[in-house]
Amino acid sequence: MTEYRNIAIIAHVDHGKTTLVDGLLKQTIELGHGQEIAERAMDSNALERERGITILAKNTAVMYGGVKINIVDTPGHADFGGEVERVLGMVDGCLLLVDAAEGPMPQTRFVLRKALELGLKPIVVVNKIDRQDARAEEVVNLTFDLMAELGANDDQLDFPVLYAIAREGKAFRNLEEPKNDMVELFETVLEHIPAPDVDLEAPFQMLVTNLDYSEYLGRIVVGRVKRGTVKKGEFVNLIHKDGTMTKTRVVQPFTHLGLARIEVDQVGAGDIVALAGVEDAQIGETVADLADPEALPIITVDEPTVSMVFQPNTSPFAGKEGKYVTSRHLRDRLMKEIMTNVSLKVEEIRPDEFKVSGRGELHLSILLETMRREGYEVQVGAPQVIVREIDGVKHEPIEHLVIDVPEAFSSTVIGVISSRKGQLVNMEPQGNRIRVEFKIPSRALFGFRTSFLSMTQGEGIMSHVFDGYAPWAGDLKTRQNGSLVAMEAGTAFAYSIFKLQERGTFFIDAGTEVYVGMIVGENARENDMNVNVCKNKKLTNVRAAGSDEALTLIPPRRLTLEDALEYIGEDELVELTPKSIRLRKKILDPSFRK
């Protein structure tokens, strides 16, 4: 009988979780199984590889000393917190990864709080100790203080510490005696993480914590087997959240090893497995024994905090670039998304309008970017925070914001955040930089990142995490400038853009096709301005000196999807197609708009 250890890797975004898993895989798999391991092997989704962030929680497993260690890589971004909460239910301990220079960050705090509440035993790994500004000892003390503050018990506070350079595949216990491999990390896991309670004789029971989909096998449910065993072809009961049951058959059980899913004839308690054939399963439901079904507690996921309205594209350019353009396509795609994306909610407001709510702007923009790449055309309104009424008082979501800026810019940044209703909670100098912490309404951060980067000349670092609800902070003005709106349809000419460029910043190049009501730039003043960018120079037969001097155009500001969502106002929309991101007014005709 195999022995198991189930661990999750948790950390702030970019502290090296996925790289650490690469190291663990390389040292156990390439030696024994001949699988080649790519860099950041766990980030399998194209968007994850481009942005260098983990969006979906994934699992892998390694064999060490005859023990199977199941490892779950979790996202560090709080927007994907729904992923983190489910995953922690599958494991008995966690590796808490902390950057040796940055120390514990807001999202470390978010994931760690969840892990400690579930009673998981942490092992602290201080990563990137080869950085010049590394302060490993101090970071260990800060981590201890954070755990104490989050209410860790004595057993959790008595955590082992390892030091690592994940990129080079090294992890060791003693700073003075560095090792060239990860043996000491494996040994610490076997020593400190409890083995799961295994009862193979009891009736089968497993909680669905993740869903996957395969073209050949249909829906695949992933979770940890709580007790008992299940064989290929066996019938089981699926217990739904409302207590009703469906009889269903396990077509194929799988276990994990390295990056591969391995077909097996039977799976048993203690292992993290995947079952194909359990069609209607939702996350949080129980797959149980046919004769003696018993439900496990349902997982709860934090509520969404931000919503946007999705509609099929209705601009004059609709249908030119995408494959899926109707409201039926949009509805089907959103319904498919809710099946696997637990922290997302979709409501149909009108037949062609859907209110989609998620954990934050990034959560929703990743969904939009994925849809766009799949060939969908869609238009969305500005992000709105979800307001709640608590004891008759209007409450709104609040974020815990941490910024790290060079001292020279600190007073400007603090001034701007205070004007957006941010409250200063903590401030500590770190060399020639300052780390400042605020509590701030979520809506005050829409559109803030761009101005923050220009305020700090690109040197500021900011990260924030949902902190709870607080009474409504009053009116906020987050956008200072109006838009430049096209009043003629056609092709934009360099001549017109040149004549208008001191009036504002353009988002388009010469040669771009525009329609009436499309936003082509940002006005330098507060109000919107209608402009004609399709006017070319009148040709005369007089060739005077200097009449045809070269036009020097200021390069346009290229908006990414996040920039576009942050930029738009209440009466504006972002139009997304597989090839373009355009901004437009909800009402295109300038005379109606008045």
Query: Are 106 and 465 within 8 A, CB to CB?
Result: yes
pLDDT of amino acid 349: 92
pLDDT band at 543 (very low <50, low <70, confident <90, very high): low
Q: Is 70 assigned a ligand-binding role in the annotation?
A: no
pLDDT, one tens digit per residue, over 567-578 is 888 889 999 999
pLDDT band at 514 (very low <50, low <70, confident <90, very high): very high
DSSP helix/strand/coil, 487: coil
Q: Is 129 assigned a ligand-binding role in the annotation?
A: yes
Q: How many residues comprise the chain?
A: 594
* Residue 309 pLDDT exceeds 70: yes
* Residue 465 pLDDT exceeds 60: yes
d(CA 61, CA 5): 10
pLDDT of amino acid 42: 42
The overall average pLDDT reported for the chain is 80
DSSP helix/strand/coil, 465: strand
Nearest to 369 by CA among 573, 557, 507, 562: 562
The pair of three-digit structure tokens given for residue 366, joined into one six-digit string: 């990743």
DSSP helix/strand/coil, 506: strand
DSSP helix/strand/coil, 97: strand
The pair of three-digit structure tokens given for residue 262, joined into one six-digit string: 């391995």
pLDDT band at 540 (very low <50, low <70, confident <90, very high): low
* Average pLDDT, integer, range 456-482: 80
pLDDT, one tens digit per residue, over 117-150 is 888 888 888 888 888 877 888 888 888 888 888 8
**82 vs 254, which has greater pLDDT?**
254
Query: Are 509 and 484 within 8 A, CB to CB?
Result: no
* Residue 403 pLDDT exceeds 80: yes
What domains are defined for the chain? 3-192 (3.40.50.300), 205-289 (2.40.30.10), 388-471 (3.30.70.240), 483-593 (2.40.50.250)
Query: Are 239 and 256 within 8 A, CB to CB?
Result: no
pLDDT band at 84 (very low <50, low <70, confident <90, very high): low
Q: Is 141 assigned a ligand-binding role in the annotation?
A: no
Amino acid at 34: G
437: left (phi over 0), alpha (psi -120 to 50) or beta: beta
pLDDT of amino acid 36: 42
* Residue 38 pLDDT exceeds 50: no
The pair of three-digit structure tokens given for residue 243, joined into one six-digit string: 């207590």
pLDDT of amino acid 322: 87
* Average pLDDT, integer, range 549-557: 80
The pair of three-digit structure tokens given for residue 360, joined into one six-digit string: 């934050």
Amino acid at 288: A
Query: Are 73 and 58 within 8 A, CB to CB?
Result: yes
* Average pLDDT, integer, range 426-441: 84
pLDDT band at 582 (very low <50, low <70, confident <90, very high): very high
Nearest to 95 by CA among 72, 66, 77: 72
Phi, psi of 20 (to 5 degrees): -65, -40
Q: Highest mean pLDDT: which of 71-80, 158-167, 371-380, 444-453?
A: 371-380
Query: Are 553 and 498 within 8 A, CB to CB?
Result: yes
> CA of 245: how far to CAs of 80, 213, 235, 356, 536, in Å?
30, 22, 13, 29, 70
Name residue 309's beta-bridge partners. Answer: 355
Query: Are 423 and 401 within 8 A, CB to CB?
Result: no
Q: What percent of the chain has pLDDT over 70?
A: 84
Question: 214-250 burial string, b = 16+ CB within 10 Å, else e?
Answer: eeeeebbbbbbbbbbbbebeeebbbbbeeeebeebeb
* Residue 99 pLDDT exceeds 60: yes
Nearest to 505 by CA among 556, 451, 450: 556
The pair of three-digit structure tokens given for residue 67, joined into one six-digit string: 């023990």
Q: Is 16 assigned a ligand-binding role in the annotation?
A: yes
Q: Is 15 assigned a ligand-binding role in the annotation?
A: yes
* Average pLDDT, integer, range 49-74: 64
DSSP helix/strand/coil, 591: helix
pLDDT of amino acid 41: 40
> CA of 47: how far to CAs of 51, 52, 141, 368, 566, in Å?
6, 8, 35, 11, 20
* Residue 206 pLDDT exceeds 50: yes
Q: What percent of the chain has pLDDT over 90?
A: 13
Say which range, 5-19, 34-48, 492-506, has the weakest mean pLDDT: 34-48
This prediction has a pTM of 0.68
Query: Are 515 and 315 within 8 A, CB to CB?
Result: yes
Contacts of 590 (CB under 8 A, 6+ apart): 485, 487, 516, 517, 530
Q: How many CB atoms lie within 10 A of CB 512?
A: 18
* Average pLDDT, integer, range 378-383: 92
Nearest to 331 by CA among 313, 314, 315, 310: 310
d(CA 350, CA 342): 23
The 3-state secondary structure of 533-588 reads CCCCCCCCCCCCCCCCCCCCCCCCCCCCHHHHHHHCCCCEEEEECCCCEEEEECCC
DSSP string, 363-403: HHHHHHHHHHHTTB-EEEE--EEPPEEETTEEEEEEEEEEE
The pair of three-digit structure tokens given for residue 374, joined into one six-digit string: 């799949």
Nearest to 537 by CA among 490, 489, 493, 486: 493
pLDDT of amino acid 28: 62
H helix count then E strand count, the chain:
15, 36
Q: Is 481 assigned a ligand-binding role in the annotation?
A: no
DSSP string, 341-353: -TT-EEEEEETTE
Q: Is 530 assigned a ligand-binding role in the annotation?
A: no
Amino acid at 249: R
* Residue 76 pLDDT exceeds 80: no
Contacts of 473 (CB under 8 A, 6+ apart): 396, 421, 441, 444
Q: Highest mean pLDDT: which of 238-252, 315-329, 449-463?
A: 315-329
* Residue 30 pLDDT exceeds 50: no
DSSP helix/strand/coil, 98: strand
pLDDT of amino acid 81: 47
pLDDT band at 78 (very low <50, low <70, confident <90, very high): very low
Say which range, 1-10, 30-39, 455-464, 507-516, has the weakest mean pLDDT: 30-39
> CA of 587: how far to CAs of 30, 147, 192, 381, 382, in Å?
59, 52, 62, 13, 15
pLDDT of amino acid 196: 81
* Average pLDDT, integer, range 155-179: 81
Strands (E), 391-525: 393-406, 423-430, 433-441, 461-471, 483-486, 490-491, 504-506, 513-514, 518-523
pLDDT band at 260 (very low <50, low <70, confident <90, very high): low
pLDDT band at 312 (very low <50, low <70, confident <90, very high): very high
Exposed/middle/buried for 256, CB within 10 Å: 0-12, 13-18, 19+?
Answer: buried
* Residue 33 pLDDT exceeds 60: no
d(CA 493, CA 495): 5
Q: Is 17 assigned a ligand-binding role in the annotation?
A: yes
* Residue 485 pLDDT exceeds 90: yes
pLDDT band at 182 (very low <50, low <70, confident <90, very high): confident
* Average pLDDT, integer, range 544-573: 79
Q: Highest mean pLDDT: which of 74-78, 168-172, 346-350?
A: 346-350
Q: Is 74 assigned a ligand-binding role in the annotation?
A: no
Amino acid at 564: A
Q: Is 229 assigned a ligand-binding role in the annotation?
A: no
Nearest to 397 by CA among 502, 301, 468, 313: 468
